[in-house]
Amino acid sequence: MTTKVRLSIAGMMCAGCVSAVEQALQGVDGVEQAHVNLAERTALVSGEMQTEALVTAVKQAGYTAAIMQGRQADLEKEAAEQTYYQTLWRRVWVAAIPAAFLMIGDMLLHTLPPMQGAGRWFWLVMGLVTLAVLIYSGGHFFRGAWQQLRHRSSNMDTLIALGTGTAWFYSMLVLLFPSAFPSLAQHAYFEAALVVIALVNLGHALEMRARGRTTAAIKQLMQLQPLQAHVVRNGEELDLPLEEIGLEEILRVRSGETIPLDGLVLEGSSYVNEAMLTGEALPVAKAKGSLVTGGTQNGDGSFLMKVSRIGADTVLAKIIDMIRQAQSSKPAIARLADQIASVFVPIVALIALSTFFLWLWLGPEPSLSYALVTAMTVLVIACPCALGLATPIAIIAGIGKAAQNGILIRNGDALQQAAKLDIIVLDKTGTLTAGKPTLTAIYPADLYTKTSVLQLAASLEKGSEHPLGQALRTGAKAENLKDLKLKDFISLTGLGVQGNIAEQTYFLGNTRLMQQQHLNLSTWQENLKNLDTVGQTPVFLATQTEIIALFAIADALKTDSLSSVQNLKNQGLELVMLTGDRREVAEHLAAQLGISQVHAEVLPADKLAIISQLQQQGKTVAMVGDGINDAPALARADVGFAIGAGTDVAIAAADVTLIGSSLAGIERAIRISKATTKTIWQNLFFAFAYNVIGIPIAAGILYPAFGILLDPMLAGAAMALSSVTVVLNANRLARLGI
């Protein structure tokens, strides 16, 4: 029988790690599919296999795995990641403090003792201190390099271990055997090794903080489901954990509670907020025979329901699974340097080895010393610091610039992808519209005024929480209308409300309520047709004998939606609207905004499918939304934008969050993305140009013609300067005008 096992994976830092873990898992007997999620640091494995074998395979690949079952496992994983994050910062400080001591003492104060005589003991002690720091702060890089070597591969760990290890080993050789080296070559590079370790750990810590937040999407969704439910068994009501509840069980859902599982209403009625499912703000009436979904919010009523889905079969569980699958199917965070390193490292090693033998064979005496110095100089100058910093430093600078402009970017991949967007898919409710129904028009009958009917309607809604009622009350408040004395209030589920004001009974509600009261609608048909055309909701006010007013309520466009849409179109972007709302409403709004492509009456799975279809056409797609129902599509898109006023789950699933509710942030984010991408390519070009020019000089290519041989100390300085140059170039983004 095919089963699915979820693993927590510790130690993954890059796309190469993901590949190594996937290969290890796929090599286990019985595994049909292994999907590793770098953002969550988890693996989802399906097949007929032994779970212990999966853990063993991951361990043999150089990582740590644990089986995840239930919510407690997620909490433990989160705690472990927080601990590791703190460990990274400790590694940064442990390496940075002695490095700063050496660099300040050597370059600024000139107070460090010479490497000869009694001063030699100082440097030997510093060598041992550096070794201890390399073991504590850089041990994971050396272990990673060893694992890569075992698998006949190489990555950034290999470069870091090779560069820092060579710097330390060379320095110790100079201290222990000074006579074997030319006088100009007698220099220690302990500070270079320490600086590299500190900076790379810093980069990992910052990246971990950004990536780790993506797990909040799953956590927020899981928190929608209550831990317990009220189960009715043999006439008794029991509070039981959801794990103990089976199909066909009878549950009671009380006023204001979250519905625990999917099911069918047996008795009672209420309004239910289904924004989690549809993204629409208006509550949905539920009565006997209605379907209800776990995770949605019950209103004022109470009802009994029969469970129809449990566990992984619920709609909420499937949405969670869709987000996990969408996040796992994303490209791993771009690490161009890692990919090139698989070729770069062997080439550098080959050049260093060739340099050693060429100088040993053709070099002047002492040829061994010259051979060793030049080979070591090649490895020192080829230290991967600039290469490793080129991308993440630019990304960090770009993310910082975005944050200053109210744009929170989840990871570097999104920052780069936003520069290549072809299509932006926009959810309607809460994104293009305010997400809050407002009163747009009042049509009073003869002998009545707009003010009088609005005062009556608002007074009837005094005890109601319904959004349409709140729209009427907001309209009355704007006119400074006071509530009239209300008696005998009745909430008519799915229809409206009823109450008595000044000894007169009034009804306020939809068309069905008017029909139920046998009131004549014929004189209002033209108004109803007009409202339907523009996608507005009608609400009637009536006495027991006649309809006295019609109110038009709509979710209005945001004030800047039209200008923002036009600006995005001016950039050559194609715009698409998605919504769970009625087609008439969607098409009317799209026409106002000038959006030609509209998909209406869609569910979360439909949104996900539409995003996938656009991507299959070779398009780079962004999704903009604010609801829980948008979360799977936000995760699947190349770039997901969440409006800051939206739900926490949408924000957590997105790559980019706009703190404000304005769509202008999308345009700014794209400009920052393009500038950052340009900086990344500049940094990578410089890093590789530096190596292409510096390595031959370090190997002694200028010596035959000009007698110039690069001092290892200058090689170390060049290495440090290359890093500074990359950082300074990235910092230019802070001055970017947007």
CA 241 to chain centroid, in Å, comes to 31
Q: How far apart are CA 146 and CA 677, in angstroms?
A: 32
Specify whether 413 is catalytic. no
Q: Which of 74, 157, 262, 427 is an active site residue? A: 427
Tokens of 318: 């499937």
| Helix ranges, 508-560 (H) | 511-516, 525-533
Quote the CA–CA distance of 5 and 47 in Å, as a whole number: 9
Listed in sequence order, the DSSP H helices in 571-641 are: 583-593, 604-616, 631-636
Question: Mutual orientation of helices 190-212 and 385-404 as an angle, nearest 10°?
Answer: 40
| Collapsed DSSP state (helix, strand, coil) of residue 683 | helix
- For the chain, give the number of residues: 738
- Say how far apart CA 672 and CA 678 lie, in whole Å: 10
CA gap 671, 666 in Å, rounded: 9
Element (H, E) at 170: helix 156-176
Measured CA distances, 435 to 193, 282, 467, 471, 718 (Å): 55, 10, 11, 12, 56
- Whole-angstrom CA distances from 569 to 563, 624, 667 are 10, 15, 10
- Distances in Å between the alpha carbon of 68 and those of 7, 45, 55, 220, 326? 5, 12, 11, 18, 19
Residue 258 burial by CB count (10 A; 0-12/13-18/19+): exposed, middle or buried?
middle
At residue 165, what is the residue type?
G
State how far the Cα of 651 lies from the Cα of 631, in Å rounded to an integer.
8
Q: Give residues with Cβ within 8 angstroms of 125, minimum separation 6.
A: none
At 642, list the tokens. Answer: 């969440």
Give dist(CA 300, CA 313) in Å, integer. Answer: 27
What does the alpha-carbon distance between residue 93 and residue 202 come to, in Å, rounded to a whole number? 9
Q: Report d(CA 310, CA 192) in Å as an integer.
A: 58
**C-alpha–C-alpha distance, residues 70 and 66, integer Å:** 13
| The pair of three-digit structure tokens given for residue 584, joined into one six-digit string | 């008439």
Q: Nearest 5°: CA angle at 701, between 699 and 702?
A: 125
* Nearest-10 crossing angle of helices 70-103, 215-224: 150
CA atoms within 13 A on the CB side of 556: 10
Find out whether 498 and 505 touch, Cβ atoms under 8 Å. yes
d(CA 472, CA 457): 7
Residue positions annotated with a catalytic role: 427
